[in-house]
């Protein structure tokens, strides 16, 4: 009994090295936040699919901002393609050029693509991911998009592994379902730290996020962290305050379980 | 080409005409019902357009009447003009019942001009349309010959000059009955008596000045076509033909050192229907593989698939817009290849999704937030305005997402101009913990006729859970508005 369990674990470990997550050991995108990078073992895999979950409406702005910032760090001089559904515009408004500039993105480096429904968005997204001349692709879907199933996400992940394009799937108002994503995050906005200048002490400060790693294909344990975006350095930094990253504070998924979990999902 | 019975025959084709009776199309003219058009049977009974309905009924009591529909006639004429593209790329409408084709250098596939006219007459006859065709050196001459019949322009009545009613009457009173009579007179007295336009019209009719028609479609810079002896109904074969045409067009563009920005394939069905597939590229292109792929994408994206019907007998590829295009030079690091790869991706996306679904952001020349950014389709140039740079160390002052239009919210704020304390958006209560403002943005009063417009007071706010919003009060309390409304305009990251 225990021998078969051991061989099963070994087989699963072998499967992991064969799948698209073999590319996880490729180049990494550093977030710039020392704590997060240390926990991730250097950063996020570039040639991989990452899922960002957020409650729609409430945290749509924060999650989109986080995706944009990751894309900006990964893009290496290449453009970012943002693919979204028409209903995204009703949900959170249109992407606004001056706001992109305020986050450190040159709007000339962005292509906005809209699709009528999730299927159209996924097809356009898959095409963009397959193109090596693209720096990062953000695919934004609203609600539990049934089109974004395990097959679709695996196709995206394989295309990303081939082309080396950072692929971020922004899932607003969706519940996590099995997918081929290398990492899965839940993003929330966090209260910003006060500005240093005295007269504006009560003003909202730099964008701050509470990020929660829900799952990592490489077996890294989940954690929570609070990060801040520094536009001038185009980098994340650790933010102080309640709920900031506590080393080992939140054992979201035990390390031993993760492999089994991945094995089950991959099956 | 003149179609004397177009309205009546349109009805017969569409099945709206009574099968047995003579009929007329009537319209209300100056308070009376008059005949606008009649069919051949009514014409044989002496009923002519322009009669009042009462007069016509007195002569032919069983005359059936149907309402006149000029829009449908114009649509049929447009359809015919489209179908006539097969003869010449230069086709013009002469509403309500005429078409002009410039067939200079277009007659060789039919042997000569008479062969082309025969082919055209046969096709029109198959559709049940009566047409009078004529060839002449000028479009005006051809139209006049087609309309009034006869072998020579000089023998035509003066009505062929298309002058107004009054001049026509005075010409006839002067004893000038035919074009030949008018042409025999010296021109200056004619101009003095009947208006300066008359010699010009005369010259156009007689071919003394060389005029060109204004075609409905811009003449393409490059056009290649494939004609089939028998109509082809297999879509696969048509796709192969398109690929071949793309290759020919690419060769032609390559010889000229140009690339195309727009490409159009016209599939002429043997029954006259024309299907058009258009493809636009973001940068000049002439790579046959890429273009062929774009056309396949376009065909895949069609809402209703191509219907070959009885088959296509002519396929034409036109390149209406061309631009100079240098031969791409490969860089050692593969730079040029990457650029073209991206351009190919963007073209593919805009071909499949539609041109305005792939956009870029351009700065707008306005301080009004919603006009400070424009989303334009690829290839459209925005105004030459730079984006406003932001101060180092400042938090973002503009939101990542903007609602258009702004969303109305309920706000609890101090009067007259205090910051918001609490607001309700999408049925959720938000307690404001941090705020900055107001940033006062005035309306563009100099563009408004009344010189007014409500001032907006913008606040950046953050709620207890860290969500950041951009709110504004629409109107200054008391001076501009008694009870100003609040709106949520954007979401910060």
Reported as a single tens digit per residue, the pLDDT across B424-475 is 998 889 999 988 888 999 888 888 888 778 899 999 999 988 899 999 999 8
Q: Which helix (H) or strand (E) holds B141?
A: helix B139-148
Structural domain containing residue A257 = 2-266
Give the pLDDT of residue A154: 92
| B279 CA to centre of own chain | 15
Mean pLDDT of B271-286: 83
pLDDT of B144 over the 90 cut:
no
Is residue A117 less than 8 Å (CB to CB) from chain B?
A: no
Mean pLDDT of B341-351: 87
Contact criterion met (CB < 8 Å) for A99 and B492? yes
The token pair that represents B366 in the structure block: 């306005």
Summarised one tens digit per residue, pLDDT across range A165-209 is: 999 999 998 888 889 999 999 999 999 887 666 455 688 888 999
State the total domains in chain A.
Answer: 1
Higher pLDDT, B485 or B194: B485
Give the pLDDT of residue A262: 40
Is residue B465 less than 8 Å (CB to CB) from chain A?
A: yes
Summarised one tens digit per residue, pLDDT across range A7-29 is: 877 777 676 555 444 333 458 88
Question: Looking at domain B222-336, does it have CATH number 3.30.1490.100?
Answer: yes
pLDDT of A84 over the 90 cut:
yes
**Common-topology check for domains B1-133 and B222-336:** no
Model confidence band, residue A265 (pLDDT cutoffs 50, 70, 90) = very low
pLDDT of A254 over the 50 cut:
no
DSSP-assigned states of every residue in B185-247: S-HHHHHHHH-THHHHHHHHHHTSS------SSPPPSEEEEEEEEEEE--HHHHHHHHHHHHH
Arithmetic mean of pLDDT over chain B:
85
Best of B341, B400, B458 to mutate (most A CBs within 10 Å, chain A):
B400
Give the pLDDT of residue B489: 94
Closest CA to B360 of B374, B339, B350, B344: B374
ipTM for the assembly: 0.81
CATH of the domain at A202: 3.40.50.300
Which residues between 216 and 255 in chain A have a beta carbon less than 8 angstroms from any beta carbon of chain B? Answer: 229, 231-232
- Domains of chain B, by residue range, sit at 1-133, 135-219, 222-336, 401-491
Contact criterion met (CB < 8 Å) for A64 and B400? yes
Rg of chain A over Cα atoms, rounded to whole angstroms, equals 18
- Greatest mean pLDDT among A44-53, B39-48, B349-358, B414-423 lies in A44-53
Model confidence band, residue B481 (pLDDT cutoffs 50, 70, 90) = confident
Is residue B362 less than 8 Å (CB to CB) from chain A?
A: yes
Mean pLDDT of B382-399: 86
* CB contact set of A149 (below 8 Å; sequence gap of 6+): A177
**Residue matched to tokens 């403002």:** B437
Give the pLDDT of residue A244: 45
Q: Look at strands B258-269 and B222-232 and give their pairing.
A: unpaired
**Does residue B162 come out as left (phi exceeding 0), alpha (psi in the -120 to 50 range) or beta?**
left
* Cα separations in angstroms, B437 against B31, B160, B418, B440: 66, 74, 9, 8
Contact call for residues B492 and B470 (beta carbons, < 8 A): yes
Q: At what angle do helices B187-194 and B165-173 cross, to 10 degrees?
A: 130
Q: What number does CATH give the domain B1-133?
A: 3.40.1170.60
Arithmetic mean of pLDDT over chain A:
82
């Amino acid at each position: 009994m225990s021998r078969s369990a051991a061989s099963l674990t070994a087989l699963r470990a072998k499967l992991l090295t064969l799948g698209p997550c073999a590319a996880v050991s490729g180049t990494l995108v550093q977030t710039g936040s020392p704590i997060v990078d240390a926990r991730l073992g250097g950063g996020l895999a570039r040639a991989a699919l990452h899922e960002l979950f957020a409650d729609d409406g409430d945290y749509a702005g924060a999650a989109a901002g986080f995706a944009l910032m990751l894309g900006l760090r990964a893009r290496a001089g290449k453009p970012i393609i943002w693919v979204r559904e028409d209903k995204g515009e009703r949900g959170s408004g249109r992407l606004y050029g001056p706001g992109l500039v305020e986050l450190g993105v040159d709007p000339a480096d962005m292509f906005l693509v809209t699709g009528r429904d999730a299927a159209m968005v996924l097809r356009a997204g898959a095409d963009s991911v397959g193109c090596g001349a693209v720096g990062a692709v953000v695919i934004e879907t609203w609600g539990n998009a049934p089109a974004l199933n395990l097959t679709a996400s695996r196709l995206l992940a394989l295309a990303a592994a081939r082309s080396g394009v950072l692929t971020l799937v922004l899932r607003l108002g969706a519940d996590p379902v099995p997918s081929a994503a290398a990492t899965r995050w839940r993003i929330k906005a966090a209260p910003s730290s006060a500005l240093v200048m005295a007269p504006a002490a009560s003003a909202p400060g730099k964008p701050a996020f509470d990020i929660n790693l829900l799952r990592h294909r490489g077996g890294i344990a989940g954690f929570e962290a609070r990060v801040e975006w520094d536009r001038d350095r185009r980098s994340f930094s650790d933010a102080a305050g309640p709920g900031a990253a506590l080393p080992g504070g939140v054992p979201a998924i035990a390390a031993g379980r993760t492999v089994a979990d991945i094995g089950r999902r991959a099956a | 080409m003149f179609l004397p019975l177009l309205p009546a025959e349109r009805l017969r084709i569409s099945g709206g005409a009574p099968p047995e009776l003579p009929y007329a199309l009537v319209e209300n003219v100056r308070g009376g019902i008059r005949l606008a058009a009649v069919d051949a049977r009514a014409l044989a009974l002496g009923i002519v357009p322009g009669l009042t309905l009462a007069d016509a009924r007195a002569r032919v009591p069983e005359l059936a009447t149907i309402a006149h529909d000029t829009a449908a006639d114009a649509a049929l004429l447009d359809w015919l003009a489209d179908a006539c593209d097969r003869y010449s790329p230069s086709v013009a409408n002469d509403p309500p019942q005429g078409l002009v084709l410039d067939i200079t250098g277009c007659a060789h596939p039919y042997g000569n001009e008479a062969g082309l006219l025969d082919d055209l007459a046969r096709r029109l006859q198959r559709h049940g349309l009566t047409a009078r065709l004529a060839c002449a050196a000028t479009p005006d001459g051809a139209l006049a010959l087609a309309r009034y019949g006869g072998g020579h322009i000089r023998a035509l009545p003066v009505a062929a000059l298309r002058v107004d009613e009054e001049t026509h009457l005075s010409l006839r009173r002067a004893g000038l009955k035919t074009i030949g009579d008018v042409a025999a007179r010296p021109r200056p007295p004619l101009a003095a008596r009947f208006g300066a336009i008359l010699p010009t019209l005369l010259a156009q009719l007689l071919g003394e000045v060389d005029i060109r028609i204004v075609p409905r479609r811009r003449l393409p810079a490059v056009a290649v076509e494939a004609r089939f002896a028998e109509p082809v109904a297999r879509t696969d074969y048509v796709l192969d033909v398109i690929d071949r045409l793309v290759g020919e067009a690419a060769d032609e563009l390559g010889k000229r050192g140009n690339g195309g920005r727009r490409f159009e394939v016209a599939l002429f069905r043997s029954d006259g229907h024309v299907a058009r597939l258009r493809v636009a590229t973001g940068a000049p292109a002439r790579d046959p593989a890429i273009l062929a792929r774009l056309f396949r994408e376009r065909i895949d994206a069609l809402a209703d698939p191509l219907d070959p019907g009885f088959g296509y007998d002519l396929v034409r590829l036109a390149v209406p817009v061309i631009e100079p295009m240098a031969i791409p030079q490969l860089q050692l690091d593969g730079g040029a290849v990457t650029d073209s790869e991206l351009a190919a991706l963007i073209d593919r996306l805009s071909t499949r999704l539609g041109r305005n679904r792939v956009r870029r952001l351009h700065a707008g020349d306005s301080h009004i937030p919603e006009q400070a950014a424009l989303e334009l389709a690829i290839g459209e140039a925005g105004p030459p305005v730079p984006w406003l740079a932001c101060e180092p160390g400042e938090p973002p002052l503009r939101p990542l997402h903007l609602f258009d239009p702004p969303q109305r919210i309920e706000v609890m704020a101090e009067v007259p101009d205090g910051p918001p304390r609490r607001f309700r958006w999408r049925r959720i209560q938000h307690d404001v913990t941090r705020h900055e403002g107001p940033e006062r943005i005035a309306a563009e009063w100099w563009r408004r006729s009344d010189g007014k417009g409500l001032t907006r007071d913008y606040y950046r706010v953050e709620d207890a859970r860290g969500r950041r919003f951009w709110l504004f009060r629409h109107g200054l309390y008391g001076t501009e508005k008694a009870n100003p409304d609040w709106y949520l305009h954007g979401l910060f990251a």
